[in-house]
Structure 1
Amino acid sequence: MAKISLGKALFKPRAVALIGASDEGRRHHAMAPLYLEKHGYKGRIIPVNPKRKKVYKNKCYPTVFDAPGPVDHALVMTPAKTVPNVIHDCGRAGVKVATVFSANFAEAGPDGMRLQEEMMDAAREGDVRIVGPNCMGVYCMDPPAIISPNRIMQIPKIHKGNIGVISQSGSLTGTFVSRGQHRGLAFSKIVSIGNECDVSVPEVGEIMIDDPKTKIILMFLETIRDYKAFAAMAERAFAKNKPIVVYKIGRSEAAQEFTASHTGAIAGTDTAVNAFFKQYGVIRVRHFESLFEMTFLAMGRKPIKNKRIAVIASTGGGGGMVVDNLGVNGIQPTPLPKDAEQRIFDAGGTVSNGPLIDVTLAGAFPENVRRILQEAFAAKNNGAVIMTPGSSAEFNPERTVTPLKEFLGHEKPFGAALIPEAADTARLMSSMKIPAFKSPESCADAMRGFLEWEEPQPLPKKPAIDLKPVARHLAALGKVLDEFQCQRVFKALGIKQAKSAVAPSIKKALIKSKTIGFPMVVKVVSQDVLHKTETGGVILGVENGKQLKTAIKKIRRNIKRSVPKANIEGFLLQKMESGLAEVLIGYRVDDIVGPTIVVGSGGIMSEIYSDAAVRMAPVSKKTARQMIKEVKGLALIRGYRGLPKGDLDAIADAIVKLSQLAHFGDTIVDAEINPLIVKPKGVVAVDGLIIQNK
C-alpha cells in the first residue's frame, strides 16, 4: 500500500472511517456522517459500529480493520475507555491518522492521563498519528472534507478562502466559522488540536505553511507545549510570508489556572510569552475579535518601521474613541502635514486637522474623502491609515468607505473602524480584502499587534564568553546555591562582585572584617534561606566590630524565628557599595517558552511597579541596550534632566553575560542578581540567587 503524507491524510483523505457513527437522533455520532456528505466530500465514507448494519445509506462495519482499505483518516467518537483498542484496530488497518473526538483523557486527571498513555502506546505500535484527544475535528474547505461532528456545520454552505486556523479549544472552531462567515471571511483549513498528545500545533502549522491556499494562520492557544518546534515553525512562516496571529489566554492568574486544568499544561509567565512571540515574528492580539480583523491587515504584509497612524473620521465621537484607544495602546495618531492640509483647502475641500483628522459632516462626500485619503497615504509622517466613518457606513458606504478601494495594494496598512453596526458594509469590505474593525477597542488592539510585529530575531548561537569555568563551578555545587557560591559563578561569568568573605562564627568574622573594611553588610549564608531581606537575614551599615557582633547575633535570632529549620552555614561579610541606581537582572527557564532574561528596577521596586523588560535568552549587546531603554525606572541614569549618567554599557555587558546561562539548557532553573549597583563607571553585583535543576 502506497504511503500517504500526514498532510494529505488530514485534509485530503481517500476514505474516512467514522468510528462510533450512528443515524439516530441529533447526537454528535449522527451528525458527523451528514456533515461529510453535505459539504461535498468526494471520498469514501465508512461508518464503523458493531451494533449497526448501515448508517444512513452507507454500509457499516464492526471494526475499521473489517472495512475495505485504504482508510487514511478515522474520526473516533467512542467512549474514552474503548479508544486504546480502537486505535489498535486502526493500526492493523493501516489508518494514517485518527482524530479523537472522545474526551476524559489527560484533561480529566491522573486516570485520564493513564488512559491517554495507553492510547498513545497503541498508536505508536500501529504507526497511527493522533489528533486530539478531546478535540472537535478537522475541516478542509478545498477539496471539502469536514471531519467533525461540530454543529456549526449545519450551516448551508461553508465558503472557501485563505485563512488557516489552529485551535486548542474544540468548540471555538465553530466560533471561527460562525463569526468568519458573518463577516465575509473564508477559511482554507481549520484544526481542533485538543490535548495535543501527538500531532502538534507546530506540525499542523508547518503543513499550512506549505499549503498554497493558506495565506495567514490564526491560532487560539491555551499553552505552548514545544517552544523549540513552535519557534522554528514561526520563523519559517515569516520567511514564507504567512503571518501567524495568536490569541492566547493565560494573561490573568484565573486564566492560568484554567489553562492548567483544561489542557493538562502548566501556564507560563505571560510577559515571557509576549517576549517569545515578539522574538519569532508572531503577532499577538488581546481581543478575540481582533483575530478576525487582523486577517486582511496582516495578510501579504511584513512589519513596518513607521509606527504612527493617520486617523481620519467623519464622526468626531467615533474618531475620538479610536484615537483614545490607540493612545492607551501606546500608538501615536498623527495629523496631516501642513502642506497637505493647504492643498485640500486649495482644492475646495474641508478638513479639521489634528491627531484626529476630522472630515466633518460637511466634508463627508466622496471627492473630499478621497482627496484626504490620498494626502494621508502620501504623507511621510505616518505608517498606517485608519478611516472612521459615521452613520454613512450603514446606508451610504460609497461616501466614506468605498473610496478606500482605490488604495488596495498600497504599501501602508489601512482599514476602517465601523462605528455603526454596518454588517453589510463589513462584508463588502471583506470582499475587497479591507480590514473592517467592529469597535474602537478591537481596532486599536489590532493596530497595536500589527505595529509591534517584528521580523524574527535569531538568538546568538555561540557563547559570548568562555563557559568552561562556569560549568566547573556548577557541576561541583548543589541544587540551591548560597550567596557566596553564587558569587563564584557570577564572577566566572565575568560580572564584578562586591568584595566579600564568609565567616562561620563571630570570632572568624572579626578577623575577616579587617580585609573587607567597614562599613559593611552582613548576610546569612544558608541554602535554606532564599529571600534574606524578608527573613531578617541582612543587616546593612555595620560600622565597627561591636556592631558586627550585634548584627550576627540578630541575624541568628531572626532566622531561628522565621525559618526554624534553616541550616546556617555562616555569615557573608560584604563591602557596602553605593551608586547611582540599583538594577535587577534575572535569568529563568520559563515552563512554556524556555530560557528568558529580565531587566528591571532593582531592590523591591521591580516587584512593586512591575517595571521590567523581558527577552528570550541569550541576548546580544544590542538587545541588552534595548532592554535598558524599556525600563522606565532606569530613565534616571540615562541622563534624565541632567542627572548623572550611569554606565549603561556595563549594565548591558552584565545582561549579556548572565544570559549566557541559556547555553546550559535546563541545567539552571533560576539565576538572579538583585541588586546590581550601577556606578558612573562600572557595575557591581551585591546579592544573588541560583537554583539548579538537580
Structure 2
Amino acid sequence: MSAAGPDAAALRTLTTPARLTRFFAPRIIALIGASESSAWARNVYQGLALTGSTDGIRVVNPSGRSFFGIPAAASIGDLDDAPDLAYLFVGPDRVETALREAAAVGVRNAVVLAAGFSEAGEAGLERQRRLAALAVELDMTVLGPNSLGFVRPGVAAPYGSGIRGPLLKGSLGLVLQSGSLTSALMPFALGRGIGCSLLAAVGNEAVVSSMDVFEYLIDDEDTRAVGLFLETLREPHRFMELAFRALERGCPVIVLKAGRSDAGKRAATAHTGAIASDDAVVDAAFRQAGVIRVDSLEEFVTTAGLMATQTRWPDGRRMAVVTSSGGGSNLIADCASEQGFDLTAMSPATAAQLRAALPPFASVQNPLDVTGAWMSSAGASVTKPEDNALALMAADSEYDLVVHVMTALPQDEPADRGGVEARIAGLAELMRDAPVPAFTLSLVSLPLGEYPRELLARTGIHLLGGIELGIGAIAHGVRWHERREPLLAAGRATAMRRPLVANPPAPAQEGVWSEHDARIWLGGFGVPFVPVELVGSASDAAAAADRLGFPAVVKVCQPGLAHKSDVGGVVLRLQT
C-alpha cells in the first residue's frame, strides 16, 4: 500500500459485480447513529418504507431511544442478527470506529453519509485515503463518503434525500456523482412514468466508484439503459472500455456531464473534490464510444427513459407526424427539421385514403392535422381520428418512423373508464404492429397522474412529454442506432486507442504540415484523436458526416496553411 492509499487492484476486489449484487440487495440494514431528530435518518426510513423493507431495519444508538417504534441497540454488537448493510449517520471523525465495530460482527457493506473528506482540503483528502485503506483491511464494500445511498425499487431504498413515492420499477440504471439531484430527478421521472432498476449516489468514490456501478449495470439483466451524471471522469480509459461493452450489449449510455464552463469545473471540485476534465476532450471521447450526451436534467431523464423502453429504431430519418393540433404541427415540423428528420410528403394512395376519412377542410399533408371536428360528432368511438391516421401513415412506405401526438388523457380515473382503456389498448396494439417504429408524445411536458401512468404502463406505451424534449430524445436514439453498427464494425481498438507504431517515419515535407499528415504521424505514437475522414468533394463530406455523426466540423486540409480560420477554412457545429 502506498502513501496515497490502497492500489486500484486491492479496491477492485471490493467492488466487483458479484460484490455489488450483494451490496444492492440487503435484507437487514443497521442504521448506525440514527435518531428521529435527523432529517437524513427520517428520509432513509421513509425510503425503506416505500419498498416495504422496514422489517429489516435495525437501529444502533448509544442513547437507546427508539426510532419510529424500533428499539435501539446501544452498539451493533448487541443486535440479535448480523446486518447485510450498515448505513452510517455518524460524523467524519467517528466513521472509522463505526466501520470497525460493524466489521467485527460480520458486516461487509456500508454507506457513509458524512462529508468532510476529499472535498475538504488536504486533511479531508488524507481522511479519505485512510477510509479506503480501512475498507481493504476490513474487506468491506463502502459507498461514499458523502453518499446518500441507493434506491432499488422492490428491494430497498436506504436513501438520505427525501423520496416521494411510489417508486417505479423499470429498466433504467442511474449513477449519480451528486445524490441531492434526486430531489428533482425522481419526481420528474415519476411524472413521466419512468422507473429505474437502480439509482446509486456514489459521493466521493473512496471505494465504490461510478465506474464500478456502471460495470455492474451493464451486466444486470434488469437494466436496458444506463444514465450517468458525472462531475468528472476519474477513470477515463475504463469508462471507454465499459462504454464499448455497453454498446456491444445494445445498452445505450446517456451522460449528463457537468463542468462545461470554468465556473462549472470549480463547482465540481468544491462539491466532491473531483478534478473536472477538459470538456472538449470528454465530448470527443463520448462520441467515439457511442455515448449519448445531454445538457439538462429534463433531457437526461426524458432521453434515458426512452432509451430504456424503446425496442425498435428506424433505419432512416423520413418521419410522419400525426396530431390534432395545427399549431402543434408547426412546432413539431420546426423541431424535427432542426434535428435532421425529413418530413417527406405521403404517397398519393395514403393521401387519398386520408381525404376520404377526414373533414373536407382538413389539410392532408405531413405533419398531418386531423383537426378537432370529431369532438362535435355524436356517439362514441373506441379510436380517435389521429389513431386511424397513424395506422395509414405507418403503413406508407415513404416513412421510416411515425410520431403520434396523443390527445390528453384524464388525470383521474373516470366513472366510465371502458372507452378510454379500450382506446389506449387499441393504440398500443397498433403501435406494436406498425411496419415502422412508432413514438407517442404530448405537446407539453406535464406530470401524469396515477391513473394515466398506470394505464400507459399496463399497455406498454411510453409517452414522451413535450415537443422539444420528445423529438430531441427520438433524435438521440436514432443517432445512437445509426452510429452503433459502424462503431462496432470499427472495433474496440479503434474506439479505445490508436495502435502504436514502434518507429513512426518522419514526414517528408518541411514547414507547416497538413492536419492529415500530422494526425497520421502523431497517431503512430498512440496519440488519440476524434474521428475524422479526409474527403475531396462536398458530397463525400456529407456522406462522411452522416457516418461520423453530428454536430460536425469541416476544415480545409492544406500543407503550409497555418491559420485556416483566417481564410474561412473552418466551419463549426454543423447539424446537418
TM superposition shift of 1:464:
7.9
Question: 1:284 pairs with 283, 293, 296, which one?
Answer: 293
Aligned twin of 1:134: 146
The one-letter code matched in structure 2 to 1:436 is L
The one-letter code matched in structure 2 to 1:81 is D
CA distance in structure 1 between the partners assigned to 2:223 and 2:549 by the alignment:
39
Q: 1:540-555 alignment to 2 at 5 Å?
A: none
2:460 counterpart of 1:442? no
- SS of match in other structure, 2:530: strand
Aligned twin of 2:502: 468
CA distance in structure 1 between the partners assigned to 2:421 and 2:162 by the alignment:
37
Moved more, 74-83 or 293-302: 293-302
CA distance in structure 2 between the partners assigned to 1:624 and 1:373 by the alignment:
32
2:363 counterpart of 1:352? yes
**CA 1:393/1:100 → structure 2, altered by over 3 Å: closer, same or farther?**
same
CA distance in structure 2 between the partners assigned to 1:630 and 1:420 by the alignment:
26
CA distance in structure 2 between the partners assigned to 1:179 and 1:116 by the alignment:
33
2:396 counterpart of 1:383? no
**CA 1:261/1:407 → structure 2, altered by over 3 Å: closer, same or farther?**
farther
CA distance in structure 1 between the partners assigned to 2:396 and 2:552 by the alignment:
32
CA distance in structure 1 between the partners assigned to 2:214 and 2:499 by the alignment:
36
**CA 1:433/1:291 → structure 2, altered by over 3 Å: closer, same or farther?**
farther
Q: 1:9-20 alignment to 2 at 5 Å?
A: 9-20=22-33
CA distance in structure 1 between the partners assigned to 2:149 and 2:314 by the alignment:
36
CA distance in structure 2 between the partners assigned to 1:465 and 1:438 by the alignment:
44
2:190 counterpart of 1:163? no
CA distance in structure 2 between the partners assigned to 1:159 and 1:469 by the alignment:
57
2:44 counterpart of 1:32? yes
CA distance in structure 1 between the partners assigned to 2:549 and 2:293 by the alignment:
23
CA distance in structure 2 between the partners assigned to 1:346 and 1:159 by the alignment:
43
TM superposition shift of 1:393:
8.1
**CA 1:61/1:15 → structure 2, altered by over 3 Å: closer, same or farther?**
same
Higher relative contact order (CA 8 A, sep 6+): 2
Contact 2:545 2:552 in 1 (8 A): no
- SS of match in other structure, 1:114: helix
Contact 1:74 1:95 in 2 (8 A): yes
C-alpha distance after superposition, 1:409-455 (max 9, x if no partner): 35514121334848348624344332323322212321221122132
Contact 2:143 2:202 in 1 (8 A): yes
Aligned twin of 1:596: 529
- SS of match in other structure, 1:106: coil
CA distance in structure 1 between the partners assigned to 2:260 and 2:423 by the alignment:
37
Structure 1 gap segments, 5+ residues each = 471-490, 499-573, 602-612, 614-621, 638-645, 652-672, 678-694
CA distance in structure 1 between the partners assigned to 2:83 and 2:422 by the alignment:
55
- SS of match in other structure, 1:305: coil
Structure 2 gap segments, 5+ residues each = 1-15, 376-380, 535-540, 565-576
**CA 1:629/1:218 → structure 2, altered by over 3 Å: closer, same or farther?**
closer
Aligned twin of 1:45: 57
Question: 2:448 pairs with 423, 431, 445, which one?
Answer: 423
**CA 1:584/1:349 → structure 2, altered by over 3 Å: closer, same or farther?**
farther
The one-letter code matched in structure 1 to 2:428 is K
Question: 1:243 pairs with 235, 252, 255, which one?
Answer: 252
- SS of match in other structure, 2:152: strand
Give TM-score, length-normalised by structure 1. 0.64
Contact 2:86 2:110 in 1 (8 A): yes
Aligned residues: 513
The one-letter code matched in structure 2 to 1:22 is S
- SS of match in other structure, 1:107: coil
2:100 counterpart of 1:100? no
Larger strand fraction of residues: 1
2:105 counterpart of 1:72? no
CA distance in structure 2 between the partners assigned to 1:300 and 1:235 by the alignment:
20
- For the aligned residues, what is the CA RMSD? 4.1
The one-letter code matched in structure 2 to 1:405 is A
- SS of match in other structure, 1:251: coil
The one-letter code matched in structure 2 to 1:412 is P
C-alpha distance after superposition, 1:81-129 (max 9, x if no partner): 2212322333333322211111122123322212111211211111111
Contact 1:75 1:148 in 2 (8 A): no
Contact 1:163 1:188 in 2 (8 A): yes
Larger-gyration structure (1/2): 1
- SS of match in other structure, 1:46: strand
The one-letter code matched in structure 1 to 2:529 is T
- SS of match in other structure, 1:152: coil
Q: 1:207-356 alignment to 2 at 5 Å?
A: 207-294=216-303, 295-296=305-306, 298-301=308-311, 304-347=314-357, 352-356=363-367
Give TM-score, length-normalised by structure 2. 0.76
**CA 1:185/1:65 → structure 2, altered by over 3 Å: closer, same or farther?**
same
Contact 1:417 1:440 in 2 (8 A): yes
